[in-house]
């Protein structure tokens, strides 16, 4: 994050009421590199609580783009990665939800990998015919703090890549046109899920979001 970006965030913080959810999200954004887990938690709270509407935004993604400067793929990965942590590494979340403006910009969250690594682990967990032993190995390495993360992410992407089959290329070309309509419907579903609020259980919402992210990965 550049100094110009930090100054811009600081200017916004001055106009927000300390202690409010909106203020907390902005603080978590400032500490993004050190505390992505907290930002992921707060983004989940904002989208499912619908607070962004009270702040003058009709759409969650518009709020993230205009106020936080975050693009949709980053938002999705942060939220999915936080939910993965909550499910598989909840013991590491203790104390991370109390991030404040006085925390140092260079603070480190020990033992927690980059959110992009965690999002790949989540995708691997939900892959059909997943190898349980391999998944546990990859998870353990990711949270050991000893592996080279870029190399581990390359390995995870390779693991997620489907094996090519005869005639698959031709079928993919035919199905590409239909994919556009599927993606359009998926994005409409995400918008409606946001509007539904508590009517949709959290577990179902998380499963749907993972599916939507996988669909968008086909673009």
List the pLDDT tens digit at each of the 219 positions of the chain: 556 777 888 999 999 999 999 999 999 988 875 679 999 999 999 999 999 999 999 999 999 999 999 999 999 999 999 999 999 999 888 755 544 434 444 334 557 899 999 999 999 998 877 788 989 999 999 998 888 888 999 999 988 887 666 555 555 555 656 777 787 787 788 878 777 877 888 778 778 887 877 776 666
First to last CA, the chain: 28
CA–CA gap between residue 112 and residue 110 (Å, rounded):
6
Question: Model pTM?
Answer: 0.67
Are 139 and 121 spatial neighbours (Cβ–Cβ below 8 Å)? yes
**CB-CB neighbours of 200 under 10 Å:** 15
pLDDT in tens, 98-144: 444 344 443 345 578 999 999 999 999 988 777 889 899 999 999 98
Q: What is the number of H-type helices and E-type strands within the chain?
A: 11, 0
CA trace torsion 162, 113, 38, 62 (10° rounding): -40
Please, what is the angle between helix 132-142 and helix 115-125, to 10°? 170
Distances (CA, A) of 138 to 88, 112, 146: 13, 14, 12
Q: Which long-range contacts (CB under 8 A, 24 or more apart) does 9-18 make?
A: 12/67, 13/101
């Amino acid at each position: 994050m550049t100094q110009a970006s930090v100054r811009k965030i600081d200017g916004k913080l001055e106009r927000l009421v300390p202690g409010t959810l909106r203020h907390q999200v902005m603080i978590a954004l400032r500490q993004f590199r050190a505390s992505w887990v907290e930002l992921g938690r707060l983004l989940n709270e904002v989208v499912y609580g619908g607070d962004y509407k009270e702040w003058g935004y009709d759409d969650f993604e518009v709020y993230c783009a205009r106020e936080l400067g975050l693009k949709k793929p980053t938002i999705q990965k942060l939220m999915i990665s936080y939910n993965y942590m909550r499910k598989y590494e909840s013991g590491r979340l203790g104390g991370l939800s109390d991030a404040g403006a006085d925390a140092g910009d260079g603070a480190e969250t020990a033992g927690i990998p980059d959110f992009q690594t965690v999002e790949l682990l989540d995708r691997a967990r939900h892959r059909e015919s997943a190898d349980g032993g391999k998944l546990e190995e990859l998870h353990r390495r990711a949270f050991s703090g000893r592996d080279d993360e870029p190399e581990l992410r390359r390995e995870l992407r390779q693991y997620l890549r489907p094996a090519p089959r005869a005639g698959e290329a031709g079928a993919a070309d035919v199905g590409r046109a239909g994919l556009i309509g599927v993606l359009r419907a998926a994005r409409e579903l995400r918008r409606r899920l946001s509007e539904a609020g508590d009517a949709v259980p959290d577990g179902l919402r998380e499963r749907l979001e993972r599916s939507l992210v996988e669909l968008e990965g086909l673009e």
